[in-house]
Chains A and B, each alone.
Chain A
């Protein structure tokens, strides 16, 4: 284990962060010029990865089976819409934070059953949040500003008087928010907060007898998870969909995020990004194969059915062979590489020389 340099971040983390930043801020914008990549892949990827981190916190770290991420996303998105509409002084960033907090309030409310129940019982309780929030937004006109068309156009993003409306600008907004929240999540997961979460996940009774308050830990996890989902939902609506409709946040999206979380790797932050990338890119790849190899001979509905079969099949395969998901696979590959070429690692090299002499 390396010593942390700043807060809980080690030197390796800072190098990783620098590499990621260079890649995402300098390399991607200079090499990718087609709008399609920003509007259809990078922006939704960042938003959904953020929501998946929220799901990770409650499911991967705290071990509570929840299935209502899309409901909290909807809460965040519509809170954002109303805040910008009704409290314009708050500004974009302020509204984003407050809409996250509003989603967190819902998270606390619907997280309360987790104190009593677990497993599938909790899943049903969180389903209530999913259906209730969507229904509430749909039925009370106030949330939609009495718009009867059902689809509301999202307001333009304005930060400090500057409009952020081009795909590239929106990408940077998503990138900034995601980076900050990801770093925060990593810090929380490694600090005492995260240790409490994991203690509750691994054995709640043991954790409680060691003085970890179950009430505090679980409610905190649900609140933070819902905060992440809320912010992700607001970004999802404002940067990706550019419109607000409750149907966009239905149960299917919740399942999608659940899949991203599980396939990516439970209890890992980078797993959230890997899982989100996989679930988003795989259909694109499959469509490309359908169009280019079979020249559209396969019906689009069949392709989407095949995609579903593959996702489901992968879920089963991962549960059987690698319950920790793709992040763990990646870890294994790295490990194999290191044992195969120990000289690549300078530290190993010096230590092995030290042993010989």
Chain B
């Protein structure tokens, strides 16, 4: 009995920590949505693009770790700059769906560019953190939890707290929230829309880079990252598109539910149900609570 409980705990904690990885991808999504009410479908491509560039800098040019990270982050700022100038500004007054489709196109561009520049083979990314159980926890609590998962959890926590403080207590954060609420009104009282957009897309780019590092260290830097990042969408639906804590809780729920279902119910169906379980869970949320757990209620004016 104790063993079973321990096993369940292990599955649960493993799932929760894996969920923080989804949260990291979802976070970039929320940042952009909060500040511009734009669904950025290319967030997954940004994850892939940024971490592949990071690997490319490190492995092809032998640039040291920290410098390569900074360069990749700067590259994401450039991507943000170009996106603002060439995609978002011309589509300023377009409908939500049009912008969404344009970001699907943007995702394609980023994926293509990344592969053209750095090749298509799977790259290994070594962060110096092993993907194996931490001995101390294994000895004392009898739980086998990967060090990488714990790091991802910590990184996510730090980023959440940082972003939360930024949104809540700084002038920039206030500006961001104002733009999200009503871009026209915000610009009429002198909030520089262009700068806000640039800032937010760059921030989302850096978040994507961090998420990409975590995913890359686990599964290798490869194209499949884009599909994994799609799972951030159900996370967002559960947590709510406009809520940073929602992204985290949503990620935790998805991570835990898919692992527990996979381990306890999966064997009856031949396994691999984690491929669709998050989406079906998202459908149930859509039917009963479309705004998600923490999202603002969706109000459509006629």
Q: Is B158 an interface residue (CB 8 A)?
A: no
B246 to chain A, nearest CB (A): 14
For the complex of A and B, the 9 pairs showing the least CB-CB separation, nearest first, are A315-B105, A312-B108, A308-B112, A128-B279, A309-B112, A312-B109, A305-B116, A131-B276, A139-B270
User: Which of B90, B110, B111, B230 is in CB contact (< 8 Å) with A127?
Assistant: B230
Q: Are A315 and B108 CB-contacts (below 8 A) given A135-B272, A306-B116, A320-B102?
A: yes
Report Cα–Cα, A125/B276, bound state, in Å.
Answer: 10
Mask for A296-339, Cβ within 8 A of B = 1, else 0?
Answer: 00000110111111111111100110010000000000000000
CB atoms of B105 and A312 under 8 A apart: yes
When distances are taken between beta carbons in the complex, the residues of chain A under 8 Å from B113 are: 305, 309
Q: List 24 A-B contacts (CB under 8 A).
A: A65-B100, A113-B283, A116-B286, A121-B286, A123-B100, A124-B234, A124-B237, A125-B286, A128-B279, A132-B279, A139-B269, A205-B302, A258-B104, A301-B119, A302-B116, A305-B115, A307-B112, A308-B111, A315-B104, A315-B105, A319-B94, A319-B105, A320-B87, A323-B94
Is B156 positioned at the interface, with any CB of A under 8 Å from its CB? no
Instruction: Please tell me if the beta carbons of A128 and B283 are within 8 angstroms of each other in the complex.
Output: yes
- In chain B, positions 247-302 with a C-beta closer than 8 Å to chain A are 269-273, 275-276, 279-280, 282-283, 286-287, 290, 300, 302
A117 proximity list for chain B (CB < 8 A): 286, 290
A120 and B43 alpha carbons, distance in the complex (Å): 14
Whether B276 pairs with A113 at a CB distance below 8 angstroms is: no
Q: Which residues of A contact B237 (CB under 8 A)?
A: 121, 124
Report if B137 contacts A (CB, 8 A). no
For residues 105 through 125 of chain B, which have their beta carbon under 8 Å from a beta carbon of chain A? Answer: 105-113, 115-116, 119-120
Confirm or deny: A150 has a beta carbon within 8 angstroms of a beta carbon on chain B. no
Given contacts A116-B290, A119-B97, A205-B302, contact A127 B279 (CB under 8 A): yes
Q: Is B98 an interface residue (CB 8 A)?
A: yes
Q: Which residue of the partner chain B has the closest CB to A64?
A: B97
When the two chains form their complex, are residues B115 and A308 in contact, meaning their CB atoms are under 8 A apart?
yes
List chain A residues, Cβ under 8 A from B111. Answer: 308, 312
B194 to chain A, nearest CB (A): 17
Q: Is residue B96 within 8 Å, beta carbon to beta carbon, of the partner chain?
A: yes
CB under 8 Å from chain B, chain A span 106-132: 113, 116-117, 119-121, 123-125, 127-128, 131-132
Residues of B within 8 A of A (CB): 39, 41, 86-87, 90-91, 94, 96-102, 104-113, 115-116, 119-120, 227, 230, 233-234, 237, 269-273, 275-276, 279-280, 282-283, 286-287, 290, 300, 302
Min Cβ gap B124→A in Å is 19
Closest chain-A Cβ to B271's Cβ sits at a distance in Å of 8
Do the beta carbons of A319 and B102 come within 8 Å of each other?
Answer: yes
Contact assessment for A124 and B279 in the assembled complex, using a CB-CB cutoff below 8 Å: yes
Residues of chain B contacted by A310 (CB below 8 angstroms): 112
A269 CA to B26 CA in the complex, in Å? 36
Question: From residue 218 to 256 of chain A, which have CB atoms closer than 8 A to chain B?
Answer: 251, 255
A277 at the interface (CB under 8 A from B): no
Which residue of A128, A255, A262 has the most chain B CB atoms within 10 A of its CB atom?
A128
- Chain A residues within 8 Å of B234, by CB: 124
Q: How far is the CA of A162 from the CA of B66 in the complex (A)?
A: 69
CB pair A124–B87 under 8 Å, yes or no, is no
The residues of A that contact B39 with a CB separation of less than 8 Å are: 119-120
In the bound complex, residues from chain B placing their C-beta under 8 Å from that of A132 are 276, 279-280
A123, B104: Cα distance in complex, Å? 12
The complex places the Cα of A251 from the Cα of B233 at a distance, in Å, of: 15
Q: How far is the CA of A304 from the CA of B113 in the complex (A)?
A: 10
Interface pair A120/B100, CB less than 8 Å apart: yes
Can you name 12 extra interface pairs (CB under 8 A) apart from A113-B283, A251-B230, A323-B94?
A117-B286, A123-B100, A124-B234, A132-B280, A139-B269, A255-B104, A305-B115, A309-B108, A309-B116, A312-B108, A316-B87, A320-B94
CB atoms of A316 and B273 under 8 A apart = no
C-alpha gap A302/B113 in the complex (Å) = 9
Of the candidates A140, A306, A316, which one forms a contact with B112 in the assembled complex, judged by CB atoms under 8 Å apart?
A306
Give the nearest-CB partner of B288 in chain A: A116
A321 to chain B, nearest CB (A): 8
Query: Which of B99, B290, B300, B302 is the one whose CB lies under 8 Å from A121?
Result: B290
Quick check: A128 and B282 within 8 Å, CB to CB?
Answer: yes
Instruction: Give the chain B neighbours of A319 by CB distance below 8 A.
Output: 91, 94, 98-99, 101-102, 105
Cα(A307)–Cα(B275), bound, Å: 28
B182–chain A nearest beta-carbon distance, Å: 19
Which among A119, A258, A305, A312 is the interface contact of B96 at CB below 8 angstroms?
A: A119
A328–B80 CA distance with the chains assembled, in angstroms:
31
Closest to B41 in A: A120
Q: Is the CB of A125 within 8 A of B283?
A: yes
A308 to B96, CA, bound (A): 24
Compute how far the CA of A124 lies from the CA of B41 in the bound complex, rounded to whole angstroms. Answer: 11
Contact between A113 and B280 (Cβ–Cβ < 8 Å)?
Answer: no
Q: Which residues of A contact B91 (CB under 8 A)?
A: 319-320
Nearest-CB distance from B225 to chain A (Å)?
A: 14
Chain B residues, CB < 8 A from A309: 108-109, 112-113, 116
A305, B109: Cβ atoms under 8 Å? no
Residues of A within 8 A of B290 (CB): 116-117, 121
Q: How far is the CA of A309 from the CA of B230 in the complex (A)?
A: 20
Q: Are A315 and B102 CB-contacts (below 8 A) given A65-B97, A119-B96?
A: yes
Chain A residues contacting B116 (CB-CB under 8 Å) are 302, 305-306, 309
- Chain B residues lying within 8 Å of A312, measured Cβ to Cβ, are 104-112
Alpha-carbon distance A311/B271, docked complex (angstroms): 36
| Closest A residue to B230 using CB positions | A127
- Provide the residues of chain B in CB contact with A251, threshold 8 Å: 227, 230
- Given contacts A119-B39, A308-B112, A314-B105, are A320 and B280 in contact (CB under 8 A)? no
Min CB distance A290 to B, Å, is: 13
